[in-house]
Each structure stands twice: as C-alpha cells, then as structure tokens.
Structure 1
Amino acid sequence: MSLPPGFIDELRTRLSLSQVVGRKVMWDSRKSNQGKGDMWAPCPFHQEKSASFHVDDRKGFYYCFGCQAKGDAISFVRETENVGFMEAIEILAGEAGMEVPKRDPQAQEKADERTELAAVMEQAVQFFRLQLLTGGAADARGYLERRGLDDAALQRFEVGFAPDAWQGLWDHLSGKGISGEQILAAGLGKPSSKGGKPYDTFRNRIMFPIRDARGRCTAFGGRAMDPNDNAKYLNSPETILFDKGRSLYNHGPAREAAGKGAPLIVAEGYMDVIALAQGGFGACVAPLGTAITENQLHLLWRISDEPLIALDGDTAGLRAAQRLIDLALPLLEAGKSLRFALMPEGKDPDDLIRSDGREAVQAVLDKAMPMVQLLWDKEIEGKNFDSPERKAALDKILREKIMLIRDPSIRSHYGQAIKDMRWQLFRAGNTGGGARKTPWKKGEWRKDVPAKAMAGTKASLLAGAGEDTQRQMREAVILASLICTPDVVSEFEGQLEEMQLSTGEHGALRDLILSHAHAGAETLREKIIAARGADNLEKLLSAGHVAITPCIRRPGDSEMAMMTVSEELAKLEAEQGLSAEVREAAEDLGGLADESVTWRLGQAAQARNLAMRSEHEDKAEYDTGPNGARINREERSAFDELLAKLNVTKEP
C-alpha cells in the first residue's frame, strides 16, 4: 500500500523515538541526557549489561555499538514487535493519534507531482536570486544593506528579488519548458479574473525562500518594496508542497544547530531570524508571520524541549505571548515547555542586535522567564488587590488557566508555583496599589510589675510564657489543628496570611502550612520535620492546652477543625481589637478625654466578651436525675415553675 505524501514525515514529527524505545529498555541515567535527547540503554536486540544502545531523539535514529542494529521508530517497532511495515505504521499512528489513510492508488502519482513541483520551486529560487543583481533591484539592495544584510547573509538565506512585472517569472519558467499548470500548482502564479494571461504571485518584492526540514523549497515569503502595497509581507498560497501552519522558516539549519547544543529561538519574522543568525544564534526559526499553531508547537518541541520565544517588547508581543500560552497549556508534557524572552519596548530582535549588538540579545535571552511566570505577571500587572473580591477574581482566572493543563503532575506543579507567587505577593503586604497597613501593633505603654509567683506555679505554662501567653496558646491550637487537618487550610488562607504571630517559630510553621497543606497531612508533617525538626513538632502537638483540643484527638475531622480554627481566630481578633482600643485610649487620656473614650472601650470589651463566650457555654451547674442523666439546674428550675403554674403534680 502506498501512503500519501508527507504522512510518514508527519508521523515521525509527532512521535518521540525515545518514548517508543523507552517501552522496551531501561535508560542508563548516568550516560543519558534527556534534555538533549541523547539516551543510552542496554541493547534490546542482544544480551548485554553495558549501555551501548544509543538513541538520538533529535535526529530520530538509534544505533547499537555492540550489534550494529540501527534504524528509526518504524524499524524499531518492526523488529521488536515482529510485524510488517504497515502494521508498524498502524501501531505508531495509534500512539500519535493519527489515522492511517485508506489505500490511495494515486499516491505515487502525487509523490511524483510533489517532486516535479519542488524542482519548479528551485528554478524560481535561482530566478529571484539573479534578479537581485539587476539594475531594477537597486532599491531592494539598498534596503537590505541598510538592514545590515551582508553578502554572506544574502547567499546563506538565498535572498532574491521579484521584478515589478506581471509575467516576469511566468515567462522565465515557461521558457524552461514548465507548464502553466505547474506554475499555478506551485503557487507562483495566479489566474486572471478578467480572462487574461495568468500573472506572477510576487511582484516588486524582496524574496525569502521557505524550505522544509529536508531542505526542499516549498514556498516563498515576499517583502513589498512599495510602501503603499496592501500587504507588507506576503507568503505563498497553500499547495500540495506548502502548509503554512506546519512550516517554520529556517527549520533545517535551526534543527542542526540545536542538535549541537544551541538554544532554539523563535522570532516573529524573516529579518529577525537572519539578524539572529548573523549574530551567532544559529538555532532560530519564525512561524511565517502568523500566530504559532499547534502543529508548529510540536515541531518546535521536536527540535528543543524548551524553545525561547523572543517577542517584540510591545502590547502586540504580549498579546501574542498570551495566545501562545493558552495554546501550549493543554499540550504540556514532562520536560516540554516554553520560556519567554521579552525584548525592550519598541524593539524586535533585529532592532536590538543592530543597535546594541549580540551581547544585548544574549542578556535578554539569559533573563527568559518560564511560562508560569509570564502567566502570573500578565494577570497581576497594573491591578490592585486591596479587597477579598479582587483577590478571589485573580484566583478564579488563574485556576481556570491551570485547569487547561491535562497532565496532572504538571498541573499540580503549576498550582504550587502560582500559590508560591501569590504568597509572596500578599505576604509582603502588596495589594498592587501600595503596601497594606498593619491595623494594630502591640502596645508598650503598660509596664505592670507582676506579683511574685508562688512556688507551685513557677513551672506552669502561664508563669513561664510571659505576657502573650494566651495569644501564644491560641496560635498553637490553630497551627496544630491545621497540621492535623490540612484540608481546611484553604478556608482560612487569607486570615492566616495576615496574622501577626507572636513568635518566630509560629511564623515559620504558618508559612510551611500555607506552602505545603495542599500535599496532604503526611507530606506536610515531613516538610515541617525537615525544616523545624521533629522535636519542635512533637512539643507543639503534645502541649497540654493543645492535646486536649478535640480536633487534635480526631485528626482529619474537617468539621471539628473548621469550628476550632474559626473560634480561635475570632478570639484572637477580638483580643487584638481590645488591645488596640486600650492603647489608643491611653494615648487619649494624655490629652483632653471625653465620654467617647469610655464608650469605645466598652464596645471593644463587649466584642471581646462575646467572642470568649464559647469558653463558658458549658460552665452551667447540673443535677443528676434518677436515671443518671445530667439535668441543667437552671433549666430544671424554670421547668418546675412552669409546671406549678399549670397545677401539674410531679411524680416524686
């Protein structure tokens, strides 16, 4: 069976040889370099213990230095699965998510046509290159010289010129015996809508040949010399040779340079690629003037695991970055990502390298940020997060973005990275519109001398902890409750971030809880032990006032933990509010006091008492009934009075 032209190339593009081979071998981690696609393992074709089987993931070939077995993904499946060629194709196509085309009796005819059209395109390349040397191309040569293209660059990228004539290329190719149908099929000419002679697609333009990964010219890009032309840049129409969404400018040379260790740079246009290549950045490509497509993204990842996206430093460049992020998020795999290098505002790579040199471009590339950082920066830039609603809106947007990621492991890591950045933003008190002011601070005005402690109380917690004992005890209960039941941490995240903790140890525990609660109780404990030590954790959980807390005795009880933490936070807030009022009242008493001072103190004390009421809710006195049940004495008295009014005689 003959397959359609390009099917096997597309199949190889979509598959990673190391993934295909990885099902049959155990990679040698010491010799392998996954980042460069350089993988080693014991050979699956003969018995050995040393890692002599080499896979070059970039080139798509394997070779064994022991038994000399060699081939590509298709031959590997054929040998290891003992199947024929078409069966191997079907296996690999299933893995790549491609459907094997049905039998096409005209496949060979189409392949022959592609070969003939590729030859026509080469004739066009030579014609355009010769035209650049003529008198009619003087302005074009002057433009290229002003843009910094020397003779070496013109030769390397085969830059040419399409004359300002309706049938210049058409007549040239026709004179070479090439039919009009082939010229039209190659996208080099267009039929006249007025019934006249077909005309050239490109006229009065600087021409850039576009070659596929195998080096065949499949299309052209033309830059208009007439400033009034409707299209500044024009690409060939799509043909059986050219699919714009599956092509990259400078694909073959960039792949070769990347295979030698050069970072892959993705620029926006032909001139950017040429300027970067002249500056020594050999592995650079461009997506032909359109937004990067899914197929182009897979092509990039076949060349490099982490391409550098070099974008213009303007609004359009940032919008392009955001579109690319939205495209890439669902496609992310372990080890496959993007980094973004933002050029200075108003400059593209071509501008920067011509004005400031190679070092300036390298400095920008060195500062390239990971995709998660650009995603975060885009959502917080110029925004103010001074209210819970605005923070919630930020969380919602980022959550929706992260949920686009299909790989659960990568999704988890993105969530943690976003959480860390969110923590840094709000932990520092930044709301986007200025620093958050701390509502209160502990006063220093009161200098009471404590009474002399009795011998029996000197060793007690209350005696040994100082003035902030109650506050420290409440903080300890909150922290211990969250450590035992980390599922509820998200409900109190905002309050925890803003807590002014009394000790550095409590502050460190709070930070660890916020950073690792999502991983579960066991992992959270491991992180705390690693950072603060097992003794400190045990000391916290075994303290008397902590150990008697119900949610500590029943770890994992979310409802009980929610109640405990909510109550303790409310009490802390009330006590802090009262302390702040007392401090301000003391300051006011130094001046002209009035009734408002007394009123404010009364209100603060009342709020504090309401918050503390839950401590005394179960302090009622009880009697024991005949059946042994406890009866609230106050409620029983009220019930007796009601019965007396109804003249009901009670049983003795």
Structure 2
Amino acid sequence: MSLPPGFLDELRNRVPISRVIGRKVVWDQRKSNQARGDWWAPCPFHQEKSASFHCDDQKGFYYCFGCHAKGDALTFLREADGLEFMEAVKVLAAEAGLAMPEPDPRQRERTDRRTKLLEVTEAACRWFRLQLQTGAAAEARDYLARRGLDRAAEDRFEIGFAPDNRTALTQALKEKGFDEAMIVEAGMSAKPDGGGAAYDRFRGRIIFPIRDGQGRCIGFGGRSMDPNARAKYLNSPETPLFDKGRNLYHVAPARAAVAKGQPLIVAEGYMDVIALARAGFEGAVAPLGTAITEDQLRLMWRINPEPVIALDGDAAGQRAAQRLIDLALPMTGPGQALRFVILPAGQDPDDLIKAAGRGAMQALLDQARPLVDLLWAREIEGQVFDSPERKAALDKRLLDAIGRIPDELTRRHYADEIKRKTWELLNRSGRNQSARPKQGGSGRSTDRRGGPSTGSRAPRPAIHVDTTLAGETLLEGASLLICALRPELVAAVETRLERLIPRDADRAALLHDLLSHDDSPAGREGLERLRKDAHLGLTPSVICSQEADSVAAILSNLLDRLEAQRAAGAELARAEAEIQGEADEGLTWRMQQIARARHRAERPELETTGDLNEDRDALSAQLQDWLSGEIWRKPPRR
C-alpha cells in the first residue's frame, strides 16, 4: 500500500515521540526537561540502570548512548513491538487521530480476506480448547499431567485437543457460518487430491496455538498421541496467515518479558518453551518445527540483541548448532550476536528443570558461550594438528568463516579471538611461551616443561593489531580530557566524538556526559582517572592556560590521528580476513604499506619505519609536544 506524500511527516508532527516511547519506559525526571521536550530514561532495548536513552520531541528522534539504538516513532514501534511497517503506521495514525488513506480495491480485498481467516483460526482455537475437557481427551490430559501441566498451565498456554475424527472440526466451523473454502484456506482442513469433502488436518493430537507478535492466532502445532504416527509434530500449512519460517512460538509474551529485563531464550519445541516460562524464564521462544531461518533470526534480534540459543544435548541439537553457525555468521555484528547453551546429553530444558530445578537452568544460562566458541569447537573437533598442512587447513577454514562477517569491527575481534585460541592450541602454554623448541638429551624437541613438543607453532599473524592499542587509548583519553576541561569546544567536534565508542566504561560515561551536557558519577570517575593518568598528568594545566583556538587545533589534530589510526586498523582486519594460504610477495608488500601508514598516523614527525610497537612513554612525550605547540601545526600524514 502506498502512502500519499507528507502523510508520514504529518503523523510524526502530530504525535510527540515521547508519548509513543513513554508507554515502554519510565522517564528520569531529574535528568529530563519536559518543557524543552528533552527526555531521558533507561534504554528499553538493553538492560541498564542509568538513563542513557535520549528522546528529543523537537527532532522526533531517539538515541541510546549505550547500545546505539536510534530512530523515529515508527522505528521504535517496529523494534519494540515487532510491528511491520504498515502496522506501525496504523498504530501511529490512530494515536494522531488521522484516518489511514484508502487502499486500492485489491488491497482492501486482501485485508478483508485476512480478517476472515483470523476469525476461522480463533474459532478453531476455542473449539480445540473445549475438546480437551471431553472424555475423548482423557489420554491427552493424562499425558499433560505426566509432563507436569495442571489446568492453570493449560489455560495459560491455550492448549487444546483435536479428536481422532476425520471431519469434527470442519463440521463445527461450518455450523458457525464459515464456508468450506475459507476453512481450507486457513489451514484447518484439507481437500483430497481426487476431490471430495474436506477433512480435518489435525486429528488425535494435542494442540498448541501459534500467535504472532500482536497476539493473533495464525496457526497451530499438534503433537500426535499415536506413537506410530508418521509425524510426531504437525504444523499448520503455509497460508496467508502462517509462514513457519517467519514466526516464533510464544513470541508476544516473550517480547513483553524481555522488555522487563529477562533474556530471550530460544528452545527447540513447544514443551520446552512452556517448561521455561513456567520456571520463570518467560522470554522463551521456539522455531516452528524447522531449523532457525534468517527471518526468525532477524525477528529475535528485534526483540533482543543477544538471544541465548538453548539446544538439546543430543546429536540433533548438535547438528542444529552447526547449521546455525553458518546461518548467523554473515548476519552477525554489533547488536546482532548469539550465545549458546548446550544442555547435558539426553536432556531438554523440561527434563533439566524437573530433575535439578530452576537454578540448574540459570547456571547454564550464566555460562552461555558466544558464537566464536562454537565456531572454534566445530573446526577443531576430532582433528590432530601435527603437520603444517593440517595447521594451514585449520587457518583457511577459520579465515573463510570469519571473512563472511560483514561488519569490519566484528570481523577484527573475531580474528583476534581466533588467533588467541590458535596460539593456545598449537603452543600448549599460551602467548607468553617462546615458540622456539628446546632440544632434549635424546635429540627430540621438548617444551619448557620438559615434555615432548608437538612441533606446533603460533600461526603466522598477518599484522598484530594490538600494537596500536596503547596509542589509541592515549589519543582517546587526551581528546576526552581536553573536551572535559574546555567544554566550549565540544559542539564543534560533536559528530566526531559520537564515533569514538570508548572500550572503557568510565570513559564511555564521560563521553555520554559531554554529549548530553550532563554530569554523572561514572562520568566524574572517568574524568578523575584521566586527570590522574601518569601519561596525561601534565596536560590539564597546559590545556587550561592556552588560547581557545590553539586548544581547538590540538583537539582536531588528536582526533585526526585517532581516526587515521583506527581506519588503518580496520583495513588490517579486512586484509587479514582475506588471506588465503601462504602470503605472496604482493600481499606482503600490501601489509607493509598498511603498517607504515599506521605508523605514520601514530608518529607523523618520523620519516623512518622502525619498531612499530611504540611504548606509552614515547607516545605520552609526543602528546606533550603537541600540547606545547611544537607538532600539532603539522598536518597528519594520510
């Protein structure tokens, strides 16, 4: 459906964004300025106690300084409530008191058709629930009781029963006024290939209603009571309402629980979700009888940036984990991560909670492993690395996998973690052990502990990106200290400061205070740490005593160098991920040029390319030269 020009702008102008967001957050009244339309609250998209989520009524946008979520009112409705775009527009239009533009006749017909199909599924849901209380469902009730579900649980999750009757549901729906074609289109019945009357799809099964993010019944899942049934679980077919690859079981209650601070846990089946939710893990969802799809991953990330995948400890669970690794790598990045919990062999969440209680499940969740750990475990499982060829094959597999990650910064951190793991695997004693083996009395190689050496060595690093960390930290700290001591300079470099993203929490809080013109305890602590830093201890007096133009030029120079250094690091990570096999002369030359460019960014006044691993004292001395006015006038070399 197309919208007329200006309609969305009119919506945004009529409804203050704070009114939309205010239903999901509690505003910090001490920090907010209601008269100016300037609002602050703890972010609804990630767990935090401080108010780092900013909402500006005049601009109509929100931004979180913690998780960097941002957007307008429509974006918020889509991210917080999982709405489709047009659904969000309708919600905002109702809030603004504006009538939605009339759709074209075909669109109106499709909308009306969908509404009628939802009426069919809701009527079927009510009928299934009534059948669970009949005599024909005695075996089903016994099964649910053995699984620990009482009547309250059955009502909470709307569990029902489909009797083993070929046409019972179809006839019941017809009696309510639904025609057969509509019943078939909703997925409740099927037509024989050779013609004839429609028959019920679900027969002799316990029924689990599947609802979308808006709580509408779009389909069903059924567990067979017959152990010899061809399919233990059966889902609704693909219909205009139901697409099993784009929905999750229990998604609406899970979204509400995650908004209150609970983790998003992805289990394998309906009963696992029910067991988790009843144990207090209400942010539990499950894919619908199939492997997790790209659309389901995106839906999970709209709810929570780091879902926890809880897989059964059997072979099927392991295979599911391997498939998910390959699916998630090309999609992962900041705000789109996964963690994994592998349950004990032979147990699912329901079994574990019954056997060991809620605490056992919580302990596993607390130890959830990141995606990089599962990637590593998959590539080394059952392997012996006793030859250069096998080591090279491991490097190639890992580099191929990392190269699929689209975000440069994420790819860089994956490469760092893989290098660390490879070093530990191949050298047995971590980074601090020399890679050169000692010769034992028998002539065999021995390691430092006197044992036989494996003959392994550390993998050839393309470039050790950590050599710039000291310089980045110093440049970043100096920039923040100057801004804190001379706040009148912040406005001129505000957009550049927003790109800093400090790794240190106190520095991040100080940056947040500078950009929001606020003063928080964490920010004050960050400032005091910078003032006491031995490498920055001389700068406050110099900064405060110089003219504003001079200090502004110094600050601009510092940010130039920091950005150049980080850009060089990103290029190194990209090149490292692209390495295939042994380096040739062209690749070696390319890496040397990148390294020299980074070195010039750190030390522009040097013409040589000596030791790239400059220590902090040398960098601090350079900073003092900048602040004394000797070097900052020289433009940085790009």
Shift of 1:2: 5.5
Give 1:112 shift: 1.0
In the alignment, is the contact (CA less than 8 A) between 2:39 and 2:56 conserved in 1?
no
Question: Is residue 391 of structure 1 aligned with residue 361 of structure 2?
Answer: no
**How far apart are the structure 2 equivalents of 1:226 and 1:517?**
61
Q: Which residue pairs with 2:135 in the alignment?
A: 135
Deviations along 1:266-291, whole A, 9 cap, x unmatched?
Answer: 00000100111111110000001101
Q: Which residue of 2 aligns with 1:247?
A: 247
Q: Call closer, same or farther: CA 1:238–1:522 in 2, change over 3 Å.
A: closer
Aligned-partner SS, 2:192: coil
Alignment correspondent of 2:370:
370
Shift of 1:179: 0.6
CA deviation after TM superposition for structure 1 residue 42, in Å: 5.8
TM-fit CA distance, 1:306? 0.4
1:181 is aligned to 2:181:
yes
Give the conservation status (yes or no) of the 8 Å contact 1:427–1:498: no
Alignment-derived partner of residue 169 in structure 2: 169
- Structure 2 CA distance for aligned equivalents of residues 57 and 238 of structure 1: 40
Alignment of 1:12-31 (within 5 A): none
SS of the equivalent of 1:35 reads coil
Residue 45 of structure 1 aligns with which residue? 58
| Map 1:438-517 → 2, pairs under 5 A | 440-441=439-440, 517=463
Q: Which amino acid aligns with 1:350?
A: D
Matched with 1:299 is: 299
Deviation at residue 313 of structure 1 after TM alignment = 0.6
**Does residue 440 of structure 2 align to residue 427 of structure 1?**
no
- What is the CA RMSD across the aligned residues, in angstroms? 4.4
Q: CA deviation at 1:519?
A: 1.7
How far is 1:153 from its partner?
A: 1.2
* Equivalent position amino acid for 1:185 in 2: E
1:294 counterpart letter in structure 2: E
Q: Deviations over 1:532-567 (max 9, x none)?
A: x99xxxxxxxxxxxxxxxxxxxxxx979x99xxxxx
Corresponding residue pairs, total: 419
Distance of 2:192 and 2:472 partners within structure 1: 75
d(CA) in 1 for partners of 2:65, 2:178: 41
Compared CA separation, residues 255 and 61, structure 1 to 2 (3 A): farther
CA contact (8 A) 2:41 2:52 kept: no
User: Which structure has the larger Rg?
Assistant: 1
> Are residues 146 and 499 of structure 1, via their aligned partners in 2, closer, same or farther at CA, if it must alter by over 3 Å?
closer
Secondary structure (helix, strand or coil) at the match of 2:206 reads strand
Distance 1:75 1:151 in 2: 35
SS in 2 for 1:245: coil
Taking a change above 3 Å as real, the CA distance of residues 211 and 39 of structure 1, as seen in their structure-2 partners, is: farther
Q: 1:71, CA displacement in angstroms?
A: 3.8
Q: Verify the 8 A CA contact 2:42 2:52 in the aligned structure 1.
A: yes
Contact 1:301 1:307 in 2 (8 A): yes
Query: In 2, Cα distance between the equivalents of 1:208 and 1:292?
Result: 19
Code of the aligned partner of 1:208: F
Does structure 2 conserve the Cα–Cα contact (< 8 Å) formed by 1:516 and 1:527?
no
Distance 1:44 1:172 in 2: 52
Residue 144, structure 1, aligned to residue 155, structure 2: no
Residues in 2 aligned to 1:260 and 1:374: alpha-carbon distance in whole angstroms:
29
Match of 1:308 in 2: 308
How many Å separate the matches in 1 of 2:77 and 2:298? 22
Which amino acid in the other structure matches residue 41 of structure 1? H
- The 3 A distance-change label for structure 1 pair 45 and 150 is same
Question: What's the offset of the Cα at 1:354?
Answer: 1.7
Task: Go from structure 1 to structure 2 and tell me whether the alpha carbon gap of 1:45 and 1:75 turns closer, same or farther (over 3 Å shift).
Answer: farther
In structure 1, distance between residues paired with 2:318 and 2:436: 33
User: Contact (CA 8 Å) 1:61, 1:71: kept in 2 or not?
Assistant: no
CA separation in 2, counterparts of 1:558 and 1:140? 68
Of stretches 378-387 and 316-325 in structure 1, the one that deviates more from structure 2 is 378-387
CA drift at 1:196: 2.4
Q: 2:465 aligns with which of 511, 519, 535?
A: 519
**1:398 aligned counterpart, secondary structure:** helix
Separation of aligned partners in 2, 1:499 and 1:29? 58
Counterpart selection for 1:35 from 46, 54, 57:
46
The separation in 2 between residues aligned to 1:108 and 1:347, in whole angstroms, is: 49
Q: Which runs of 5+ in 2 are unaligned?
A: 9-16, 22-37, 79-84, 90-102, 450-456, 475-533, 536-586, 593-638
Matched-pair contact (CA < 8 Å) for 1:353–1:360: yes
Q: TM-score, normalised on structure 1?
A: 0.57
Describe the shift of the 1:394–1:216 C-alpha distance in structure 2 as closer, same or farther (beyond 3 A). Answer: same
Q: Within 5 Å, give how 1:331-370 maps onto structure 2.
A: 331-370=331-370
Q: Which amino acid aligns with 2:163?
A: P
Structure 1 residue 427: Cα displacement:
2.4
SS of alignment partner, residue 210 of structure 1: strand
Identity %: 50
CA contact (8 A) 1:222 1:235 kept: yes
Cα distance in 2 between the residues matched to 1:173 and 1:131: 14
TM-score after normalising by structure 2? 0.58
- Over residues 556-583 of structure 1, what are the superposed CA-to-partner deviations in whole Å (9 max), with x where a residue is unaligned? x979x99xxxxxxxxxxxxxxxxxxxxx
Kindly tell me: are residues 71 and 391 of structure 1, through their superposed partners in 2, closer, same or farther at Cα, counting changes over 3 Å? Answer: closer
> Is residue 61–residue 72 contact of structure 1 (8 Å, CA) maintained in 2?
no
Show the counterpart of 1:323. Answer: 323
Output the CA distance in 2 between the equivalents of 1:341 and 1:526: 35
Aligned to 2:417: 417
In structure 1, distance between residues paired with 2:45 and 2:169:
48
- Residue by residue over 1:447-498, the C-alpha shift from the partner in whole angstroms, topping out at 9 and shown as x without a partner, is xxxxxxxxxxxxxxxxxxxxxxxxxxxxxxxxxxxxxxxxxxxxxxxxxx99
- How far apart are the structure 1 equivalents of 2:372 and 2:70? 33
Q: How has the CA–CA distance of structure 1 residues 219 and 33 changed in structure 2, closer, same or farther, with 3 Å as cutoff?
A: closer
CA deviation after TM superposition for structure 1 residue 180, in Å: 0.5
- For 2:588 and 2:62, the matched residues in 1 are separated by 53
Q: CA deviation at 1:148?
A: 1.2
Match of 2:465, as an amino acid? A
1:73 deviates by 3.2
Q: Structure 1, residues 279-307: CA drift from partner, whole Å, max 9, x if none?
A: 11100000011011100000000111100
Once residues 124 and 70 of structure 2 are traced to their aligned partners in structure 1, the CA distance between those partners, rounded to angstroms, is: 33
Residue equivalent to 1:615: none
Residue 147 of structure 1 deviates from its aligned partner by: 1.1
Give the Å deviation of 1:35.
2.8
- Aligned equivalents of 1:184, 1:251: Cα separation in 2: 26
1:555-594 correspondence to structure 2 within 5 Å: none
Q: 1:219 to 1:104 in 2, by over 3 A?
A: same
Alpha-carbon separation, structure 2, partners of 1:151 and 1:43: 48
- 1:109 positional shift: 1.0
The question of whether the paired residues in 2 share the 8 Å contact of 1:420 and 1:515 is answered with no
1:68-95 Cα distance to aligned partner (Å, 9 max, x none)? xx9423999xxxxxxxx99x99xxxxxx
1:73 is aligned, of 75, 83, 92, to 75
Distance in 2, Cα, partners of 1:118 & 1:148? 31
Shift in CA distance, 382/558, structure 1 to aligned 2, threshold 3 Å: closer
1:597 aligned residue: none
Partner of 2:260: 260
